[in-house]
Amino acid sequence: MALRKHSSTLANQGRGSYDDQIVVLNGSGRPGWARVFRACTEPGAQYAQRAAYKDPGNPSKGRHDPRYTDVAYRKSDGVDIDKDGIRDAGRLAEGTYEYFEMPGGFLGARAFRVKATQVAERDSDGDGRFTVYDRSRIDRQGVGNSMYIHRGGPDNVSNPNTWSAGCQTIPNDDYATFLANIPKGSSFYYVLVNSR
C-alpha cells in the first residue's frame, strides 16, 4: 500500500522528494506485520521535456519552459497527451495494481512491474502538479506497464535524487530492507491512495 502526498515535480530542483509512504503488510509471510518506508510516487521534472533546451546544441536559446530553469535536465519521458508537441510527465493513478518481480531487475537491484496496462495522470499544463486543470490528464494507454517499483537514489546526501520518471521509488538507503520483506520471485497487490 502507498500513501501519496501531492508534491510538485519541480521539488528539490526537479529531482523529486521522498515525501510519500509505502507500507508493506504481512511481509515475508508474517501475518499482522507492517513496515513503513519513505518513497516517491511522482516524477521529478528532470525527466520532463519542458526542462530540455529548445536546441540541445545551443543552450542560449533557452528551455522549452522557463519555469524549469533550475532543473538539471536528464532525459524526456512521457506522452504528449494533449498534442501540443511536448511530452507530458506522468504519475501512476490511484488504484490497485498487481506487481511481479522483474527478471534481471532494474538499476542493478530487484525491481517489480505489472503485466497489465497501467493508468497514468499527466501534467499537461506543465505546472508541476497533477490536477483537474490538466487538459486530457487521464492516460489509459500511453504508459503501458512502465511504472515500476525500484530503488531510487540515496536520501542521506545533501541533494537527494529519487530517480523517478513516474515509477514508485524507495531510497537506496532503505531498499535492501524493503526487499528483505518481499520474498524473491513473489507478486503482490499494490494499492495507491492519494492522502492529501
Average pLDDT over residues 61-87: 89
Residue 65, φ and ψ in degrees, nearest 5 = -140, 115
Asked if the structure places residue 57 within a domain, the reply is no
Residue 83, φ and ψ in degrees, nearest 5 = 55, 40
Domain count, the chain: 1
Asked if the structure places residue 44 within a domain, the reply is yes
Radius of gyration of the chain (CA): 17
Supply the pLDDT for residue 63: 77
pTM above 0.85, yes or no: yes
Supply the pLDDT for residue 28: 63
Supply the pLDDT for residue 55: 77
Letter string b/e over residues 40-49, b meaning 16 or more CB atoms within 10 A of that residue's CB: bbbbbbbbbb
Average pLDDT over residues 145-160: 91
Average pLDDT over residues 145-153: 96
Residue 8: pLDDT above 90?
A: yes
Please say whether the dihedral angle defined by the alpha carbons of residues 47, 49, 51 and 56, taken in this order, is positive or negative.
Answer: positive
Coil, helix or strand for 63? strand
* CA–CA gap between residue 158 and residue 29 (Å, rounded): 36
Task: Name the average pLDDT for the chain.
Answer: 92
* CA–CA gap between residue 136 and residue 134 (Å, rounded): 6
Asked if the structure places residue 115 within a domain, the reply is yes
pLDDT digits (tens, 9 = 90+) for 9-30: 999 999 999 999 999 997 666 7
Of the pLDDT bands very low, low, confident and very high (cuts 50, 70, 90), residue 196 is: low
Cell of 38: 519513505
* CA–CA gap between residue 117 and residue 160 (Å, rounded): 30
Residue carrying C-alpha cell 542493478: 108
51, 60, 68, 86 from 57: Cα distances, Å? 15, 9, 18, 19
Asked if the structure places residue 65 within a domain, the reply is no
Supply the pLDDT for residue 64: 78
Average pLDDT over residues 143-151: 96
Asked if the structure places residue 178 within a domain, the reply is yes
Asked if the structure places residue 45 within a domain, the reply is yes
Our separate counts of H helices and E strands in the chain read 2, 11
Q: Which strands form 120-122's sheet, in the order they lie side by side?
A: 90-92, 120-122, 138-139
Q: Give Cα 164 to chain centroid, integer Å.
A: 4
- Give the DSSP per-residue string, 103-135: TT-BTTB--EEESSPP-EEE-TT-SSS--TTST
Supply the pLDDT for residue 31: 78
Asked if the structure places residue 16 within a domain, the reply is yes
> Percent of the chain, pLDDT > 90?
78
* Structural domain boundaries enclosing 21: 2-50+77-194
pLDDT digits (tens, 9 = 90+) for 82-113: 999 999 999 999 999 999 999 999 999 999 99
Asked if the structure places residue 125 within a domain, the reply is yes
